[in-house]
Amino acid sequence: MIEVRGYQNRRVAVLGLGRSGLSVARALMSGGAEVQAWDDSAEARAMAEQAGLALTDISRPGALEGVDLLIVSPGIPHLYPAPHPVIAAAWEAGVPVDNDIGLFFRSLGHADWSRHDSPPRVVAVTGSNGKSTTVALIRHVLAELGRPVQLAGNIGRGVFDLDPPEDGEVIVLELSSYQTELARALTPDIAVFTNLSPDHLDRHGGLGGYFAAKRRLFAEGGPDRAVIGVDEVEGRFLANQIAMGAADDRVIRISSGRKLSGPGWNVFARKGFLTEWRKGRQLAAIDLREMRGLPGAHNHQNACAAYGALRALGVGPRDIERAFRSFTGLPHRSQLVAEAGGVAFVNDSKATNVDSAAQALRAFPRIRWIAGGLGKEGGIAALGPHLGNVVKAYLIGHSARDFALQLGSTPYEICETMARAVARAAEEAEPGDTVLLAPAAASFDQYRDFERRGEDFIACVKQTLARREGTADRD
């Protein structure tokens, strides 16, 4: 655990007692703070009490009197579509509002680094898509090289559940817009921006607010190095805002699909090859085409982002290439779960929006596509240009019939359930096909979260293949 510094014998309220809320409450108590914890959910309060937290209803009028700080969990709205009443009360009472990420950076800054020969460093990754794969890839490469590394944030552990960093350790954080928007301190050594596509627009008051939330990671603390995806206009704007000139190599620009030129530091992927250019000359190239853990252009973009961060940490190109080859991917993100009879089964349950589903649909040549769930605004209409590789769609969940109306001439079947969709896709698949779960929808109509949906897909694939093998044995 990393203790919260600077709040000994002071009163701190914690609103929201999920993973991050429980983590920060424990860290505050360990650092000597007087914690007043609360959650609107009775179930969450019961779990917090089981974990040994004393509860105080901070939603009562006047409950924030004498409180020095309010810590808010990421999922709680603080501005749009409307501020939570406790946050509004904190504003009226003059109580500073922060989250666990801001408190983490402030606590880390209080740490005694003098005992380290090589001070620990923090790499923080944000963006719309690819964050999880990028941070996992950075962690994988460093671990393969025997360097101490920990992963936290929007993936894995809460930031305060990290172990105190050792000499030369790298802390890799995945940060969502919910986390960067409210944090009062954001001071990573290296900050990474993968890309931007519309998401969470109601929470941020539109696309501009969404981008502004992510931009704070680069504007608040000023990282030593910034790795920025420039395939969208927002990334190009951000890179220009930071760089002092064309040759300023504090900014590493990355792209998937186009060559980057100029005297600065550039990393790009084209036709399956990752290339690094710096000061007008090529330094390295990596063939990504046969790396099974990094299929498709979207994963090549993730590879560029991870490569840029690793180079900023001083890792050599050949060491990065060797470690890339052993990366198997993350669960529920272009995860190869089985191959049988020349047919691949790929779990991309994390593809919960149109943009991430489009990336998955471009990654494989012949696709039996399992899609559907709780559709988002606009459905899958925007996926029309990306359906060329889809042999047939197998639609599940609440939005199955709505999605069917937006498929144009693409063949489809309404399957309703995951079990039927997997069985039908496997039955009709031919050698060279990929049965791909890329829902383009939220999971909450049938599943608790996208992880549970992906696990069901894997279970259904195993059951289907086992039945097929049993039938073959009987024959």
Q: Does 107 score more than 80 pLDDT? A: yes
Under the banding of pLDDT at 50, 70 and 90, the label for residue 209 is very high
Say if residue 114's pLDDT is above 70.
no
302 labelled ligand-binding: no
Residues 361-380 have a mean pLDDT of 94
Residue keyed to tokens 């019961």? 46
The rounded percent of the chain whose pLDDT value lies above 70 is 98
- pLDDT-based confidence at 470, cuts 50/70/90? confident
Strands 69-72 and 11-15: parallel
What's the chain's average pLDDT? 93
Give the per-residue pLDDT at 154: 84
pTM of the model: 0.84
The stretch 372-376 carries a mean pLDDT of 94
Give CA–CA dist 306/286, Å, rounded: 13
Are 77 and 203 in contact by the 8 Å Cβ rule? The answer is yes
Ligand-binding annotation for 275, yes or no, is no
Structure tokens at 139: 């962690």
Question: Kindly report the CA angle at 321 between 315 and 323, in degrees rounded to 5?
Answer: 80
The answer to whether the peptide bond before residue 81 is cis (omega within 30 degrees of 0) is: yes
Instruction: Look up tokens 């954001």; give the residue.
Output: 186
Q: Is it the case that residue 54 has pLDDT exceeding 90?
A: no
The C-alpha atoms of residue 186 and residue 101 are separated, in whole angstroms, by 8
Residue 473 has a pLDDT of: 55
Residue 131 marked in a binding site: yes
Query: Does residue 272 come out as left (phi exceeding 0), alpha (psi in the -120 to 50 range) or beta?
Result: left
∠ at Cα 254 (252, 259), nearest 5°?
115
Confidence at residue 198, expressed as pLDDT on a 0 to 100 scale: 81
Tell me the C-alpha distance between 258 and 254, whole Å. 9
Beta pairing, strands 11-15 & 97-98: unpaired
* Residues 145-201: tens digit of each pLDDT: 999 999 998 887 889 999 988 889 999 999 999 999 999 999 999 999 999 988 788
Q: Name the residue with higher pLDDT: 50 or 342.
A: 342
Please, which pLDDT band fits residue 472 given cuts at 50, 70 and 90? Answer: low
Taking residue 381's Cβ as centre, other Cβ atoms within 10 Å add up to 12
What domains are defined for the chain? 11-98 (3.40.50.720), 107-325 (3.40.1190.10), 335-474 (3.90.190.20)
Token couple for 446: 């049938």
Residue 430 in tokens: 């031919």
Q: Is residue 127 marked as binding?
A: yes
Does residue 334 or residue 394 have the better pLDDT?
Answer: 394
Whole-number Å distance between alpha carbons of 359 and 46: 41
- Tell me the average pLDDT across 361-379: 94
Q: What is the dihedral sign for C-alpha 236, 238, 244, 250?
A: negative
Query: Residue 261 annotated as binding?
Result: no
State mean pLDDT over 256-284: 94
Return the half-sphere exposure (C-beta side, CA atoms, 13 A cut-off) of residue 342.
Answer: 7
Mapped onto helix, strand or coil, the DSSP state of residue 344 is strand
Mean pLDDT of 268-279: 95
Strand-pairing partners, residue 229, are 254
Q: Which of 382, 390, 388, 465 shows the shortest CA–CA distance to 422?
A: 465
The residue among 317 and 363 whose pLDDT is bigger is 317
